[in-house]
Amino acid sequence: MLMINTETKNAHLKLPNNEKSSPNFDEIFRKAIQEVPVGIVITNAQAKDNPIIYCNKTFCKLTGYNPNEVLGRNCRFLQGPKTNPETIALIRRAIEKAEPVKTLILNYRKDGSTFWNELQIYPVFNDEGRLTYFMGTQIDISTKMELFESVMNAKHEWLITADAINDLIILTDADGKIIRCNKATATFFNSDFPKLIGSSVRELFASTTFDSKDDAEDLLLVTKAEFQFTDRTGYYEISNYPITVNGNLTKRVHLVRDMTSQKEMIAQLEWLNKAIQQAFDSIVITDTNGNVEQVNKSFERKTKWKNSEIVGLNLFELYFEPSSKDIIAEIQSKVLNGQVWDGEYISKRKDGERLYEEATISPIKDEAGKITRLLHIQRDVTEKKQLEAIAEAINLSENIGYIFAGIRHEIGNPLNSAKTALNVLRKNIQQWPCEKIVEYVDRSLSEMERIEYLLQTLKSFNLYEDVELKPVRIYDFICNFVKTAQKNLEDKGIRIFFDSEEDCKDVTVSLDSRAFYHVLMNIMSNAVDALEEEETPFIRIRLWQTNSTVNVSISDNGCGMSQEQLNNLFKPFYTSKKHGTGLGLVICKKMLAKMNAFIFISSRNKDNASLNSELGAKGTTVHIAFSV
């Protein structure tokens, strides 16, 4: 069905004059025009305001109007408030000049919705060359436009993003001519964006500090390089990315980043790292669980652990004495609450030898305030402890009143028992049988012997009052001591071992040989007593040195001691042995103090498993440290 305006129905529609056209051709042609997927309108150029005299089905479908609503009207009814007036003016001028026109115009459908109309208008002339009609075609390209808009938006966003970046971004063609660059690039080279386009990127980098031109050119070809400009301060890093299409280089992206502050930060960190490495105190950084991340040189020297060996291991488990469990719990609760822990603990070197340390453990927080690491600063106070022990020992030996009270008690008791026994004997001597008299005399004599033994021990308390200190090669000294003791120990089934660090073999210590021998004998005899019930008894002597001390330890795998015994070890007259005087270790401590050494004893038995000994389940370790 061809729709023709009634007012203009007499107007002649000039269709192609084809020789071979059949009588039905016009009909076929009209039908075909109805069906083409392009909107078609024909207007009467002769009538006032160019009224529509024909529109096809596609036009109706596209605009939502039916033919009756359209015929006789000018096409501008398709325009609306957002239609560009400049486009309308362009069409108007073309129509006035009877020229063809092709444009893109925003049109409105009957329901008010909009679409992008790719409009073409052609003037149609009659045989006399007079303008008679206009034919217009409409194609809806809204989808294409949306796509175009989104591409344009994306491109725009990319440009905004590139401009927001402080690094320089330069896109060049394969010959190094600048195609595009971001704002930062233009500002950096004191230029305008348009001026840079088309210029050579090599010229921009001409002032780099390279010796040869080739090197400077390589700068734009290598994947990554650091460089400087001669005419400005600072350090820069360039990254170059080639863009290839089908294997051919088409473009290059050059990214330049100012590394000055980063370099300064690295330099500062290097300084800090040097300071940490060279610090006198040991420094350890762990995660919040105590897993080691880094240790400094001082820690390596002190503990014999290498940074590479200890990283990843747990400091609390590995380095702290197991007896420090409570301390570890206290440290963790404090530092994980953001506080600093200050205190002392006993730790061990890689070879298991004991260290006495003062430490400060502080939480390290990240920018969000979350605790991520712990900083341990440790100071070896073995020497300080030693001095304290010496002071304590000297103080003890000066506390004569206390010692006399002890002596009065220790001698008074057997004396009283003997006196009582003799008095009873005196009263009954007439009527008692001979055996009873002998029993009472023996009882009195045994009390006298006890007094005699005590007096002998007291003699040795003063024995080495004035020690004679001479340099002694301690390794040789202990070797001789072990040789002397060996026979006696072997008879008792006790094995003895002596381990020494290689570098201790020539070390000399200032000591009084007789006094030190006495001390070693005393400790050995305690060990032998402790090993009485042991099936595979042994004694191990070790010798090693730290920065400031030479150390000897004597360990046994005997019955060990309770916490109470340990607490009272150095109290005069305290003894857990049947026939002990409670003076042996007091005397040892005093003698060692005179030789600038201190003694520390750790032990564990079945009741006191929390305390450590290198010997496993039970045993005792006596540690003697000489100041050097």
**Residues in region 412-471 near ligand FMN by CB under 6 A:** none
> Rounded distance, CA 449 to CA 142, Å?
122
Q: What are phi and psi of 534, to 5 degrees?
A: -80, 135
- Binding to ligand FMN by residue 50, rule CB under 6 A? yes
Using CA atoms, how far residue 624 sits from 346, 475, 567, 576, 590, in Å, is: 15, 14, 18, 22, 12
Q: Please return the burial class of 59, using the count of CB atoms within 10 Å of its CB with bins 0-12, 13-18 and 19+.
A: buried
Segment interacting with ligand FMN, rule: CB under 6 A, options 23-31, 69-77, 270-278, 481-489: 69-77
CB of 60 to ligand FMN, least distance (A): 12
Q: How many residues bind ligand FMN (CB under 6 A)?
A: 21
Q: Please return the burial class of 516, using the count of CB atoms within 10 Å of its CB with bins 0-12, 13-18 and 19+.
A: buried
How distant is the alpha carbon of residue 334 from its chain centre? 21
- Binding to ligand FMN by residue 41, rule CB under 6 A? yes
> 75 vs 520, which CB is nearer to ligand FMN?
75
Segment interacting with ligand FMN, rule: CB under 6 A, options 115-123, 148-156, 276-284, 501-509: 115-123
> 88 vs 411, which CB is nearer to ligand FMN?
88
> 61 vs 577, which CB is nearer to ligand FMN?
61
Closest CA to 175 of 192, 199, 195, 158: 199
- Do residues 281 and 258 lie in contact, with contact meaning Cβ atoms separated by under 8 Å? no
Pick from 31, 76, 156, 274 the residue near ligand FMN by CB under 6 A: 76
Pick from 95, 225, 313, 411 the residue near ligand FMN by CB under 6 A: 95
CB of 4 to ligand FMN, least distance (A): 15
Q: What tokens does 436 get?
A: 């009873």
> 117 vs 602, which CB is nearer to ligand FMN?
117
CB of 41 to ligand FMN, least distance (A): 5
CB of 50 to ligand FMN, least distance (A): 5
Closest CA to 561 of 519, 618, 494: 618
Using CA atoms, how far residue 281 sits from 274, 310, 381, 387, 482, in Å, is: 13, 18, 11, 20, 37
- Binding to ligand FMN by residue 519, rule CB under 6 A? no
CB of 120 to ligand FMN, least distance (A): 9
> 82 vs 579, which CB is nearer to ligand FMN?
82
Place of tokens 């005179």: 594
- Binding to ligand FMN by residue 88, rule CB under 6 A? yes
Helix, strand, or coil (residue 313): coil
Q: Please return the burial class of 189, using the count of CB atoms within 10 Å of its CB with bins 0-12, 13-18 and 19+.
A: middle
- Binding to ligand FMN by residue 124, rule CB under 6 A? no
Helix 382-398 with 400-428: angle, nearest 10 deg: 50
CB of 71 to ligand FMN, least distance (A): 13
Pick from 44, 117, 132, 621 the residue near ligand FMN by CB under 6 A: 117
Pick from 8, 44, 79, 612 the residue near ligand FMN by CB under 6 A: 79
- Binding to ligand FMN by residue 101, rule CB under 6 A? no
CB of 176 to ligand FMN, least distance (A): 48
Pick from 55, 60, 70, 78 the residue near ligand FMN by CB under 6 A: 78
> 3 vs 255, which CB is nearer to ligand FMN?
3
Q: Please return the burial class of 204, using the count of CB atoms within 10 Å of its CB with bins 0-12, 13-18 and 19+.
A: buried
Closest CA to 357 of 383, 336, 375, 328: 383
> Rounded distance, CA 253 to CA 171, Å?
5
Pick from 53, 55, 71, 91 the residue near ligand FMN by CB under 6 A: 91
Read off the DSSP letter of residue 433. Answer: -
Torsion, Cα of 439, 443, 445, 451 (10° steps): 180
> 43 vs 397, which CB is nearer to ligand FMN?
43
> 28 vs 131, which CB is nearer to ligand FMN?
131
> 52 vs 478, which CB is nearer to ligand FMN?
52
Pick from 75, 201, 355, 474 the residue near ligand FMN by CB under 6 A: 75
CB of 73 to ligand FMN, least distance (A): 9
Pick from 60, 71, 121, 421 the residue near ligand FMN by CB under 6 A: 121
> Rounded distance, CA 176 to CA 377, Å?
56
Segment interacting with ligand FMN, rule: CB under 6 A, options 74-82, 154-162, 275-283, 408-416: 74-82
- Binding to ligand FMN by residue 92, rule CB under 6 A? yes
Q: What tokens does 435 get?
A: 């055996």
Closest CA to 125 of 148, 100, 158, 161: 100
Using CA atoms, how far residue 252 sits from 156, 175, 222, 610, in Å, is: 20, 9, 11, 69
Pick from 136, 414, 560, 582 the residue near ligand FMN by CB under 6 A: 136
- Do residues 383 and 626 lie in contact, with contact meaning Cβ atoms separated by under 8 Å? no
- Overall size of the chain counted in residues: 628
> 97 vs 470, which CB is nearer to ligand FMN?
97
- Binding to ligand FMN by residue 610, rule CB under 6 A? no
Segment interacting with ligand FMN, rule: CB under 6 A, options 68-76, 188-196, 345-353, 442-450: 68-76
- Binding to ligand FMN by residue 43, rule CB under 6 A? yes
Residues in touch with ligand FMN (CB under 6 A): 41, 43, 50, 74-76, 78-79, 88, 91-92, 95, 105, 107, 117, 119, 121, 134-136, 138
